[in-house]
Amino acid sequence: MAEQLAVRLADFAWHATGEQVVATFFTTSSDPVAAVAAAAVRIGRVLPQASVERVDEQFVSLADIAARAGLSHEAVSLWAAGKRRTQGEPFPAPRAQVGQGRTATKIWSWPEVLVWFEAHYSLDLEPDTAYLTPQQVARLNALLQESGQGCWRPLATVSGTRTL
């Protein structure tokens, strides 16, 4: 399968985690939703056994944010807790929490964090990179769910799932 991916889908970046394969797609299209939907169709044609499930929302933890931004974990923790003074909008709210109690980990939307860094500190951590908006992600995920009933086999019949 790796050879198929490298030859026929070379414009994707691929990452495997156990049974799940993540495809990252880069586009300069003025309509990224249509471009990603077309990319999902290509994956289905090249790998008929694949099931394109969803578009990941690029969630990150405080440790991820600190590492990607080259900052200390403490600085990012203080911003997230509202204890470090900034002017303007507060640090983005976490999108979810994983776990409970003392082991709970909050997660943030990386694109929202990038916008905040740029607005408050003029830090462009990923120049020339734009992420899909939450609305675009929701639209694409709805399209993928609809197409999953026609173009791709239901998840229950697929041996390993694939994520876009």
Q: Name the more confident of 86 and 74.
A: 74
What is 110-128 written as a DSSP string? Answer: HHHHHHHHHHHH---SSTT
Q: Rounded to whole angstroms, how far apart are CA atoms 93 and 59?
A: 12
Segment 140-163, tens digit of pLDDT: 999 888 876 444 333 333 334 444
- Using an 8 Å Cβ cutoff, are 29 and 35 in contact? yes
Q: Rounded to whole angstroms, how far apart are CA atoms 27 and 129?
A: 10
Predicted confidence at residue 148, as pLDDT, reads 62
Task: Please state, for a pLDDT cut of 90, what percent of the chain lies above it.
Answer: 38
Q: Within 13 Å, how many C-alpha atoms sit on residue 128's CB side?
A: 3
Residue in 131, 83, 136, 127 with CA at minimum distance from that of residue 108: 131
Tokens of 90: 């507060």
Segment 95-126, tens digit of pLDDT: 999 999 989 999 999 999 999 999 988 889 99
pLDDT category at 85 given cuts 50, 70, 90 is low
Tokens of 102: 């003392």
Q: Within 13 Å, how many C-alpha atoms sit on residue 90's CB side?
A: 10
Q: Rounded to whole angstroms, how far apart are CA atoms 131 and 87?
A: 25
Q: Name the more confident of 91 and 49.
A: 91
Predicted confidence at residue 88, as pLDDT, reads 77
User: For the chain, what is the mean pLDDT?
Assistant: 83
Among 47-51, 69-73, 98-102, whose mean pLDDT is lowest? 47-51
Predicted confidence at residue 3, as pLDDT, reads 59
